[in-house]
Structure 1
Amino acid sequence: MAFLGGPFGLHRFYLHGWTDTLGWFLPIPTALGLYGIRRALEFGVDDGWSWVLTPLFGFTIAACALTAIVYGLATPEKWNARHNPQAAPDDSAGRTQWLTIGAVVCSLLIGATALMSSIAFSFQRYFEYQIEEGQKISQ
């Protein structure tokens, strides 16, 4: 849930309730990043706002993937103490299953890809912008 619904704050609402502030703020960088992708498709990647906003989506996905990895690798004692305090420390609710391991692997793969792609896109566009500005000054 942290990986698939994380950019919209669903995991935060599930674990902490509707009053969780971070859960309400998570959709903002997601929406801005999606708007940046839409601008890049509409105006091209040379659009300044698109290369500023697009990485927000990738960084949000990477952060939610990291959250999913942390949740998936938590010991049953830690998980139950934090999220199921009424249950026994070794209750089955906090145990790692094969589906959890698969989700952790997918989160690692997709989260790392999103993070590296966002960093590469940001720096590439930034340095291209710097070169263009340097050429303007030298002319």
Structure 2
Amino acid sequence: MKNKTLAAWLAFLGGPLGLHRFYLRGMSDLLGWLLPLPTALGVYGIARVQQHGLDDPWSWVLIPLLGFTIAGCALFAIIYGLMSPEQWNARFNSAAAADAPAGRTNWLTIAAVVLSLLVGTTVLMASIAYSFQHYFEYQIEEGRKISQ
């Protein structure tokens, strides 16, 4: 029996590592194994900022990968948490009854949804702002070089 609350929390807390995918679909899930790649690239982008400063062009490409991965996993936590018990059990607990307890929503599920909405939106907007700001600053600097 796959528990909806546990899946929502795994997507929120361990989503960038693919933990929710492994819980719901098993260790043979390809996307679960691929999710740590953009996460690792984003962490590498943060390390590049610490090493080379904010003007590093690779950092404004790599850091949003981490943000988009976190935001996407938060979105899955919201989807899982808001799924009706009948849909949940039909999709992930097909052998169980439609109203089995594993698919029910409780206050821990709602907490995962609320925190996912808060953190996911914040991370997504910060990633977009960071990436666009540095992209446009880079374009302005290249325009200055051309005009001189």
2:53 is matched with 44
Distance 2:99 2:89 in 1: 8
Secondary structure at the residue paired with 2:64? helix
Higher relative contact order (CA 8 A, sep 6+): 2
Q: Which residue of the partner structure matches residue 125 of structure 2?
A: 116
In the TM superposition, what are the counterparts of 1:1-139 in structure 2 within 5 Å? Answer: 1-139=10-148
TM-score by length of 2: 0.93
Q: Among all aligned residue pairs of Structure 1 and Structure 2, give the percentage whose two residues are the same amino acid.
A: 71
Q: Secondary structure at the match of 2:99?
A: coil
The CA deviation at 1:52 is 0.8
Q: Which letter does structure 2 place at the counterpart of 1:127? A: F
**Residue type of the alignment partner of 2:30:** T
Q: Post-superposition shift, 1:100?
A: 0.5
Unpaired segments of 5 or more residues in structure 2? Answer: 1-9
Misfit runs of 4+, over 6 Å: none
Backbone CA RMSD of aligned residues: 0.5
Count of residue pairs the alignment pairs up = 139
TM-score (structure 1 length as normaliser): 0.99
Ranges in structure 1 where 5+ consecutive residues have no aligned partner: none
